[in-house]
Structure 1
Amino acid sequence: MDDTNGTPTPSTAPSRPSHSSLPFREDCWSEDATSTLIEAWGDRYVELNRGNLRQKHWQEVADAVNARHGHVKKARRTDVQCKNRIDTLKKKYKIEKARVSESNGSFISQWPFYARLDSLIGNSLPAKKPSPVPAPALHHRKTPPALPLSSPVPVAPRSATVKRPAPATLPIAVDDSYFRRNFSAFAAAAAAAEDSESSRSRSSTTGSRRRDGDQEGDREGCRELAQAITRFGEIYERLEGARQRQMVELEKQRMQFAKDLEVQRMQLFMDTQLQLEKIKRAKRSNGADSYS
């Protein structure tokens, strides 16, 4: 480090690791993007009377953030990322709020989003119930043994001069550090409950999206099956029509062949009869010539 100006020299200045295997979070939020997110979420939170936002509202919040800061693909945010970021900001606000409350006004939060979140959710946080004051003296006090019923207790006669002693009051010591410890424990428990609630909401959102994706896949599969059956029916109809036409054509050819065969048979029969008739006539004419 340079002693003159207090700045690190180039040889000792920390450099950003350039190894590609190191993890890099793409969901880092800049201060401007976080401010836009709080503004978009706060408007809808107030419109819903400080109720929970639905999925369409979170999508509107994501669209508002992307409209200002989503010019780069890596900087675009989804509705789930916006909801997780708001949950993280709520946890940070609760921690800051606890520090301010414990300091009795002496601590002022330097977090830039504290004032805006305090105006939105400051009055909606559940009030912490104070724990009962411990009374060590009462717990360690021994109960006097009961008097036996067989021996009667003597009762002194009433007198105007005798006064009953006033009941003794037990001093109870109250330590302020006990309240501070309990308050810190309550704040940690509230943060843990918020973590579990946000994880359950994320798991339920993921499960619903997975179920929606499965249902969409089933519907897509049914549509493809119906289209395949329709195409198979059309192909079968075309093949059946071609087969019927081929059978009709073959039947026509068979009938034509049978007709031609019958004609040829009749022609051959007639030619044979004519030849026989000519032979008979020739024999008759030869016999007549021989007799003469």
Structure 2
Amino acid sequence: MADLTDSFSPPTTHSRTLPVREDCWSEEATSTLVDAWGRRYLDLNRGNLRQKDWQDVADTVNALHGHTKKTHRTDVQCKNRIDTIKKKYKIEKARVSSSNGMLTSSWPFFERLDALIGSNFSAKKSTQPPPVALPLPYCKNLTPTAAVSATAVALPQKRSAAATMDDGYFRRNYSAVAAAAAAAEGEGEGEEDEEVEERVSEVEEGERGREGMMKLAKVIERFGDVYQRVEAEKLRQMVDLEKQRMQFAKDLEVQRMQMFMDTQVQMERIKRGKRSASNGTYS
């Protein structure tokens, strides 16, 4: 079988040739792609590759075969190529399986794809439904009476189980029902006891909850008293500091005025001394 490639040869019926697709794959590039994808596929436990994985596969292919612009592959091109190879493998697998071992595939990538994804494309099982029932043997020489008797013997085979049920079956069922009813009554009493115990426990929990709330309220009240005392002490200290500041400012102002008055008295004395000295000179 010819190798599967995406390239095609130009038709010979026209003198004008068609352009070759830029995404054509050679057998060597396809082999490298299958190897790179297969390693990633097995590393992911046969799971789907992510975009980063496809980019790594494309980088591996381009490292060996992407030396030109036409042979450079993207991650999308690699994914599309793998999808095409999977479709080709599915066709080859179906052809080989339908031949019952008489045919083998000459496709060079069949063995590698079969080792990677062969379990996903197993041979289809037979869809022929099983027979519903076996036909009754036909006896040509049976008289109508014998045929009726034979039918009467053959048909009630499935009804024999219901026909042979005795009163013991119903007695056992009645005993089971009675036992179940007694157990239900016992369970009902047990459930009532459990409900009473639950209610008692709820009451006790409620009382404990109220006690806890009262204790919490007392703690909060004590905390409020302490906070109030602390704030009152802070306010008293602020008032004392303000009084001290005002007294200090008052004392400073008195001292300043005293110094000013002393300075004025001394200056006045100096002036008087100068005037008396000048008057003595003139006299």
TM-score between the two structures when normalised by the length of structure 2: 0.41
Structure showing greater relative contact order (alpha-carbon pairs closer than 8 Å, 6 or more residues apart) = 1
Higher relative helix content: 2
Larger radius of gyration: 2
TM-score between the two structures when normalised by the length of structure 1: 0.40
